[in-house]
Amino acid sequence: MINIALFGGEIFYPQYKSVESLRPLLSQIQEGARILKSIPKVAILDIFHEYSKNLIKSPKVNQVEGVAFLSSWLKRNNFSQIVNKNFQTMDYLDHFVGEKKRLKAQPRGLACHWIAGNVPTLGLFSLFQSIFVGNANLLRIPPKSHSTMITLLDVFNDTQSESGWSGHDLLKSVGILYYDRVNHKANQEFSDIADIRIVWGGGSAVKAITGLPKNAHCEDIIFGPKYSFAVFDKDMLASDQLKRQLRFLVSDVFLFDQAACTSPHVVFFERGTLPFEELVSQLQDAFKRAARQFPKIDADPYISSKIINIRAQYALDLQKKVICPIENDWTILINSNIQLEDPVESRTIFLKEVDSVMEALPLITKKIQTIGCAISDKEKLVAFADEATFKGVSRCVNLGQMHLFDSPWDGMLFMSRLVNWTTLYYGK
Strands 3-6 and 11-12: antiparallel
What integer pLDDT is reported at residue 19 of this predicted model? Answer: 62
What integer pLDDT is reported at residue 9 of this predicted model? Answer: 42
pLDDT, tens only, 238-290: 999 999 999 999 999 998 899 899 999 999 999 999 999 999 999 999 999 99
What integer pLDDT is reported at residue 173 of this predicted model? Answer: 93
Percentage of residues in the chain having pLDDT higher than 70: 95
- Going from the C-alpha of 251 to that of each of 65, 98, 121, 247, 410, the distances in angstroms are 12, 47, 18, 6, 22
Whether 7 shows a pLDDT value over 70: the answer reads: no
What integer pLDDT is reported at residue 4 of this predicted model? Answer: 55
pLDDT, tens only, 150-182: 899 999 999 999 989 999 999 999 988 877 777
What integer pLDDT is reported at residue 324 of this predicted model? Answer: 96
Is 29 within 8 Å of 173 (Cβ atoms)?
yes
What integer pLDDT is reported at residue 374 of this predicted model? Answer: 98
Domain with CATH 3.40.309.10 in the chain: 227-398
Question: Which of 223, 169, 227 lies closest to 196, judged by CA?
Answer: 223
What is the average pLDDT across 299-307? Answer: 91
pLDDT, tens only, 334-363: 999 999 999 999 999 999 999 999 999 999
Whether 126 shows a pLDDT value over 90: the answer reads: yes
Q: Phi first, then psi: give them for residue 142, nearest 5 degrees.
A: -70, 150
Instruction: Categorize the per-residue pLDDT at 15 as very low, low, confident or very high, splitting at 50, 70 and 90.
Output: very low
Tell the CATH topology of 227-398: Aldehyde Dehydrogenase; Chain A, domain 2 (3.40.309)
Q: Which CATH architecture has domain 3-224+410-425?
A: 3-Layer(aba) Sandwich (3.40)
Q: Is 54 left (phi over 0), alpha (psi -120 to 50) or beta?
A: alpha
What integer pLDDT is reported at residue 12 of this predicted model? Answer: 40
What integer pLDDT is reported at residue 190 of this predicted model? Answer: 86
What integer pLDDT is reported at residue 63 of this predicted model? Answer: 87
Strand boundaries in 108-242, DSSP class E: 110-114, 136-140, 174-178, 196-200, 219-223, 227-232
pLDDT, tens only, 24-49: 788 889 999 999 999 999 999 999 99
Instruction: Give the integer Cα–Cα distance in Å for 60 and 336.
Output: 45
Instruction: Categorize the per-residue pLDDT at 16 as very low, low, confident or very high, splitting at 50, 70 and 90.
Output: very low
Instruction: Give the integer Cα–Cα distance in Å for 280 and 334.
Output: 9
pLDDT, tens only, 183-232: 788 888 889 999 999 999 888 888 889 999 999 999 999 998 899 999 99
Whether 96 shows a pLDDT value over 60: the answer reads: yes
Strands 395-398 and 368-374: parallel
- What rounded mean pLDDT belongs to the chain? 91
What integer pLDDT is reported at residue 8 of this predicted model? Answer: 47
Is 260 within 8 Å of 297 (Cβ atoms)?
no
Q: When comparing pLDDT for 62 and 22, which is higher?
A: 62
Domain with CATH 3.40.605.10 in the chain: 3-224+410-425
